[in-house]
Amino acid sequence: MTARSLDDWLEFQQSVHPRGIDLTLARVAAVAARLQLLAPAYRVITVAGTNGKGSTVEYCSRMLSASGHRCGAFTSPHLLRYNERIRIDGDEVSDAELVASFEAIEAARGDTTLTFFEYNALAALWLFRERGVAVAVLEVGLGGRLDAVNILDADVAVVASIGFDHRDWLGDTLEAIGREKAGIFRAGRPAVLADAAMTPAVAEVAAQRGSPVLWAGRDYRFDVQDDGRWSLETRSRRWEGLPKPALLGDVQYANAAASIVAVAQLGLAVPDEAIASALRSAQLPGRFQRLAGEVEWILDVAHNVPAAETLRDNLRRLPPASRTLAICGILGDKDIRGITARLAADVDAWILTSLEGARAVSTQHIAEALPPGATVLAHAHDVAEACRVARAAARPGERVLVFGSFLTVGPALEFLGI
């Protein structure tokens, strides 16, 4: 039989399980047990939250790698290449490594079905073991309690934020969503809560589980100076003169602070120079990513209301553009009306685009969710067409905003040659 390529494997994995999302742990844990992945030699930081997960993983992994601790990072989804999801010391794993991991998983799974994401999570854990990482930083895909990464007992668990998203799966209240995300906590192991305004339900779960809480604003605090430098203080330590995070937006101070606190709980040597290096060098494509030129392009995957509010606030801190065109593509299971309402006052004209996949909706559906009086410049069949329309319409001094989904920003980055 001809060996499968990476693309072959990814296509195959779409068909193995009857549902794309199946929030249970029994199947994936059974396969992980056969692969001997459930008691890793490496330490684990697990990161959950509505928003801020990607930047928290980025800061943590960079701090650890800069300190000489081999670090694996697992995130999802990807923007351009599947390999982005699994990185070791900042480098994406190769196609050959991914194929080897999938072959091992397939040999172990027997008649157990796995979702696309479960294959992904198992591949990350398998590769982290094979490559001998010292620490793995794992991003929760959806929720926390029943997400595939929760088959491992985290040494430190971080909840970056709680907001409304995935209500069909997680619940209709912030308390219910918070309890699901707090399912990553373990008895006797620290729980870091990155948002001072987080629903108390998260801390309540930690108390019930016997997980020591480190809550922003209560157990640790940070202070930002006018020049962007900042300090962070816990009950046992203080960091002074920290550089401004390279990732844009005021929320990045909260994400960075939680990351420093989380890494400190591991008890590993992490010099101040490594922390500063991580803050200065952090990169996260598609999160308020600015591309300068006569026409500025800003790309942000914002796909829920809290992320749209952060995007709006970040836009308003920039010098104003003479006109802002928005390329907007949002999946049908998102709060399209709520997301677009948050940005309507900052958008002069909309270019609506269809996306790929079962959750896609028509551009007309998006148009009907826009606030009254919104100007729709074009309905595009795909993101590339939307980008062509924006490029032709935008004049010097104007701005193009691309947002709404990884499936919107990824093709836009590809169109722009990034």
DSSP string for residues in 162-208: --S--HHHH-SSHHHHHHHHGGG--TTS-EEE--TT--HHHHHHHHH
Per-residue pLDDT tens for 20-53? Answer: 666 789 999 999 999 999 999 999 999 999 999 9
What is the structure's pLDDT at 364?
97
Domain spanning 6-281, CATH class: alpha beta
Average pLDDT, integer, range 333-359: 95
What is the structure's pLDDT at 46?
98
- State how far the Cα of 395 lies from the Cα of 390, in Å rounded to an integer: 10
- State how far the Cα of 304 lies from the Cα of 6, in Å rounded to an integer: 31
What is the structure's pLDDT at 1?
52
DSSP designation for 99:
H
Structure tokens at 276: 């500063």
Range 289-416 classified under CATH 3.90.190.20: yes
Ordered by start, the domain boundaries in the chain are 6-281, 289-416
Residue 104 has pLDDT above 70, yes or no: yes
Average pLDDT, integer, range 400-412: 97
What is the structure's pLDDT at 167?
60
Per-residue pLDDT tens for 68-86? Answer: 999 999 999 999 999 999 9
Q: Poorest-confidence range of 51-65, 153-167, 390-404?
A: 153-167
Supply the Cα-derived Rg of the chain in whole angstroms.
Answer: 21
The mean predicted confidence, pLDDT, of the chain is 95
What is the structure's pLDDT at 164?
79
Residue 381 has pLDDT above 90, yes or no: yes
What is the structure's pLDDT at 238?
97
- State how far the Cα of 187 lies from the Cα of 184, in Å rounded to an integer: 10
Residue 249 has pLDDT above 80, yes or no: yes
